[in-house]
């Protein structure tokens, strides 16, 4: 199995471990990622970090040899498999961080897009080069990228297939931060900036923000009111407000 799943400290760490193939995605590997995400969802981890083994690639995309001579039904099922697994990542109960070390092309870029946050090493490069093969992204890239960086920039990346270096990715909002070695330590430090808060509040906040991309402003405001009311009813909210009044650090219990 080319997926390593460990639980250091309060985190889950999912590593795509196929460095000899630049961590390329076979269909069986995508299925393994799905099983690993199920295990993460059942765990007590407060955040997930996703990365690739080695220094050359986070994930260089699909295993092209598997894409040739497929029937239309096989191709459709393959796209649906990738979309379903990456949607699991998007919908995890805890926030996720793509730690992009090196190439994140095609499906690798789409994994990163499905994460809550993206951190990049200085040598990271992002791209959706499917157009160069006469194809288009099929694992969510055409949908998540414009929501993240806007339609015009997304179309430029998708229609040209041009790889985007880390500095440019930061500038356009594709990544949150560029991190220096050791990048794994930097990812955990970044995660601790939000995992110190109550998990229920974090989940409600993420859900409210997600509604902004999929509904009208009026409907989103109603969802925000509902979710903020649910947050107010939690024990963590009571503790947070009391701690503020008492000028002390709150002790959240995820309740």
Domain containing residue 112: CATH number? 3.90.226.10
Q: Is 55 a catalytic site residue?
A: no
Closest CA to 199 of 254, 117, 238: 254
Question: In the prediction, which pLDDT does 181 show?
Answer: 85
Instruction: Answer yes or no: do 154 and 241 share one domain.
Output: no
Burial of 138 (0-12, 13-18, 19+ CB in 10 A): buried
The single residue listed with the structure tokens 């001579």 is: 69
Which residue did the predictor score with more confidence, 175 or 78? 175
Q: From the candidates 110, 218, 219, 251, which is the catalytic residue?
A: 110
Same domain, 98 and 213: no
pLDDT bin (cut points 50, 70, 90) of residue 214 is: confident
Res. 43: pLDDT tops 80: yes
Please indicate, yes or no, whether residues 117 and 150 belong to a single structural domain of this protein.
yes
Residue 238 structural domain = 199-245
> Quick one: pLDDT at residue 66?
79
At 50-90, the pLDDT tens digits run: 999 998 999 998 877 777 778 899 889 989 999 999 999 99
Residues ≥6 apart with Cβ < 8 Å to 245: none
Q: Is residue 253 part of a domain?
A: no
pLDDT score recorded for residue 65? 79
Q: Are residues 105 and 151 in the same domain?
A: yes
218 and 93, same domain (yes or no): no
Domain shared by 80 and 149, yes or no: yes
Task: Name the pLDDT band for 1 (thresholds 50, 70, 90).
Answer: low
Quick check: is 252 in a domain?
no
Same domain (yes/no): 214, 182: no
Q: CA-CA distance, 75 to 82, in Å (whole number)?
A: 11
Pairing status of strand 117-120 against strand 103-105: unpaired
Residue partners of 186: CB distance under 8 A and separation at least 6 = 119, 177, 179, 180
In this structure, are 105 and 219 located in the same domain? Answer: no
Mean pLDDT of 112-132: 97
Q: Which residues contact 168 (CB under 8 A, 6 or more apart)?
A: none
Neighbours of 177 (CB within 10 A): 13
What is the per-residue pLDDT across 99-113, written as a single tens digit (0 to 9) for each? Answer: 999 999 999 999 999
How many of the other CB atoms lie within 10 Å of CB of 190?
19
Please give the model's pTM, rounded to 2 decimal places. 0.94
Backbone angles phi, psi at 76, to 5 degrees: -60, -45
**pLDDT tens-digit profile of 140-161?**
999 999 999 999 999 999 999 9
What are the counts of helices (DSSP H) followed by strands (DSSP E) for the chain? Answer: 10, 10
Structure token digits, residue 209: 């923000």
Question: What is the predicted pLDDT for the residue at 75?
Answer: 87
How many angstroms separate the CA atoms of 136 and 138, rounded? 6
Read off the pLDDT of each residue in 207-221 and give the average, rounded to a whole number. Answer: 92
Q: Which residue has the tokens 């960086």?
A: 149
Q: Mean of the pLDDT values across residues 160-175?
A: 97
Question: What's the domain count of the chain?
Answer: 2
Work out the percent of the chain whose per-residue pLDDT is above 70: 100
Residues 142 and 75 placed together within one structural domain of the fold? yes
Which one of 154, 170, 195 terminates a domain?
195
Q: pLDDT tier at 49 (50, 70, 90 boundaries)?
A: very high
Residue 131: is it exposed, middle or buried by C-beta count within 10 angstroms (0-12/13-18/19+)? middle
Q: Name the active-site residue from 10, 66, 80, 130.
A: 130
Q: Once rounded to an integer, what is the mean pLDDT over residues 33-61?
A: 96
Known catalytic residue at 130: yes
Measure the CA–CA gap between 113 and 97, rounded to whole angstroms. 10
Does residue 255 form part of some domain? no
Shared domain for 161 and 232, answered yes or no, is: no
């Amino acid at each position: 199995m080319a997926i390593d799943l460990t639980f250091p400290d309060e985190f889950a760490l999912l590593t795509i471990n196929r460095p000899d193939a630049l961590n390329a995605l076979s269909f069986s590997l995508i299925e393994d990622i799905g099983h690993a995400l199920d295990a993460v969802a059942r765990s007590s981890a407060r955040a997930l970090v996703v990365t690739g083994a080695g220094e050359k690639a986070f994930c260089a995309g699909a295993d092209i040899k598997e894409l040739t001579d497929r029937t239309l039904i096989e191709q459709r099922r393959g796209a649906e498999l990738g979309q379903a697994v990456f949607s699991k990542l998007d919908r995890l109960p805890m926030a996720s961080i793509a730690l992009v070390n090196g190439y994140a092309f095609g499906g690798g870029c789409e994994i990163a897009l499905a994460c809550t946050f993206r951190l990049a090493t200085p040598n990271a490069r992002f791209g959706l080069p499917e157009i160069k093969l006469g194809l288009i992204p099929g694992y969510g890239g055409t949908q998540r990228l414009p929501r993240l960086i806007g339609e015009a920039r997304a179309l430029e990346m998708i229609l040209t297939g041009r790889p985007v270096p880390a500095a440019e990715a930061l500038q356009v909002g594709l990544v949150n931060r560029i991190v220096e070695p050791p990048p794994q330590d930097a990812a955990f430090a970044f995660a601790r900036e939000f995992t110190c808060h109550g998990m229920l509040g974090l989940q409600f906040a993420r859900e409210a923000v997600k509604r902004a991309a999929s509904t009208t402003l009026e409907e989103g405001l109603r969802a925000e009111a509902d979710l903020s009311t649910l947050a107010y009813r939690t024990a963590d909210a009571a503790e947070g407000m009391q701690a503020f009044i008492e000028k002390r650090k709150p002790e959240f219990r995820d309740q």
